[in-house]
Amino acid sequence: MNREELVEKLEVYGEVIFCDVNNDISYVIVMNGWTGTIDNFVDIVSVEVIPTYPQTGALTLVDGVIKSEFDK
Amino acid sequence: MNNGNWIEEWAKSLGITQPVNGTWIQAIKEYYGGEIVNGTHLMSIVDSVGADISNGTMIEGLMTELGYTKNNGSFTAGIRKGVIEGGGTPPTPTPTPPSEPTPQGLYWESSVGTTNVNKSPAYGLYDYSTYAMIVKSSELDEGIELFNKLQFQVGGYTNGYTYSDMTIKMYHIGSASFISTTYTDLRNQSVSDETTIWEGDLTLSNGWNEITFDTNFEWNGTDNIVILFENRNGSWQSGYGYGENHYVSSNIVAYTYQDNSYPTGSMVKYSRRLNIKLGY
């Protein structure tokens, strides 16, 4: 997966707090001030993350903060 | 005080109001029951209360058994002191307390599975999390009385990863699964004997981690038990891992997580449980 391309797409909608490998099986994205919808986020990760980490371990959008974990 | 008849004072201290056949010692003998031994009432009292008179006089053994102490070197004066100065009530022998259970240096071990579950025993992606699991009494070994250690198996953690402000509690629970809506404080579950077994900053290593309890948990031998992890770290940190889990049965686990404040609402129920060992 191309992290640089992923970050560029995410930054359209908010501040990237964390976007990286978390451990041997998971990838974590944390966003602040997300201005889009949850579907906007899902559209991006479906292309950039899901092919490598197909299982969604967590995905929440609360007060503009996205917390997400994707697992192998 | 009648200095000449300490036996009468002793009898009256027992609530006896009249002598029997003109003697107070016979009245005391009838108070304690039993038959005349060796032709003496005093010996029959010794026999009735099971006093040991092998290492002293009959009166010394008897008074010791009944819980009197000497006063100025005299048992009869001790009786007087207990009876007269103590308000008319003889001293009561102190019962031997039941022995307290102690750890046996053994471990009960759960099944060991290989399912990676990021919510157990805490979820590092969020500021706060709660994780509760039931251990059924039918799973536990016979002879367990007191739990004093907990081991659990994790993987995927960055070396030195720490959950600050972690509290671990244990409870008895009547049900073998979490029922209905399960809140983080378990308020609508059939729990009792809430015990905070450990508090502190929990630093994890991949593999088995062991916690020695601050307060041991005494199992009643009947009920199931709950182990509850309250992660009140207050911030999230990357590099968190997952607990190694095994399948048990529906609703054996409940968990939740959120940011900004400790969760108080309902939890998600789950059928796989963290691999654990309980020291006892």
Quickly list DSSP for B34-81. Answer: ---BTTBHHHHHHHHHT---TTS-HHHHHHHHHT---BTTBHHHHHHI
Within this chain, do residues B67 and B133 fall inside the same structural domain, yes or no? no
- The stretch B23-38 carries a mean pLDDT of 73
What are the structure tokens assigned to B14, written together? Answer: 């027992």
Within this chain, do residues B237 and B176 fall inside the same structural domain, yes or no? yes
Give how far A24 is from chain B: nearest CA, Å: 6
CA B153, chain centre distance (Å): 27
Backbone φ and ψ for B30, nearest 5 degrees, come out as: -70, -30
Domain count, chain B: 2
- The stretch B240-246 carries a mean pLDDT of 98
3-state SS, residue B239: coil
Within this chain, do residues B147 and B196 fall inside the same structural domain, yes or no? yes
Residue B111's domain spans which residues?
107-279
Within this chain, do residues B160 and B36 fall inside the same structural domain, yes or no? no
Give how far B254 is from chain A: nearest CA, Å: 16
Mutation pick from A18, A20, A21, A22 vs chain B, by most beta carbons of B within 10 Å, is: A22
What are the structure tokens assigned to A59, written together? Answer: 């995905």
Percent of the residues in chain B that have a pLDDT greater than 90, as a whole number: 64
- Which residues of chain B have a CB within 8 Å of the CB of A20? 238
B239 with A25: Cβ contact below 8 A: no
- Supply the ipTM of this predicted assembly: 0.96
Exposed, middle or buried by CB within 10 Å (0-12, 13-18, 19+), for B241? buried
Residue B90, pLDDT above cutoff 60: no
A67 with B241: Cβ contact below 8 A: no
Residue B63 covered by a domain? yes
Residue ranges per structural domain of chain A: 3-71
pLDDT at B14: 74
Give how far B113 is from chain A: nearest CA, Å: 17
CA max distance for chain A: 31
Q: What is the mean pLDDT of chain A?
A: 97
Residue in chain B closest to A18 (alpha carbons) equals B238
Residue B101, pLDDT above cutoff 50: yes
Q: Using beta carbons and an 8 Å cutoff, which residues of B are at the interface with A?
A: 116, 118, 123, 125-126, 155-158, 236, 238-242, 257-259
DSSP state of B138: G
The answer to whether the pTM exceeds 0.90 is no
B156 with A30: Cβ contact below 8 A: no
Within this chain, do residues B111 and B78 fall inside the same structural domain, yes or no? no
Q: What span, in angstroms and rounded, lies between the C-alpha atoms of B158 and B172?
A: 34
Q: Tens digits of per-residue pLDDT, B148-203?
A: 999 999 999 999 999 999 999 999 999 999 998 999 999 999 999 999 999 999 99
A to B CB pairs, distance under 8 Å? 40
- Within chain A, which residues score under 50 in pLDDT? none
Residue B134, pLDDT above cutoff 80: yes
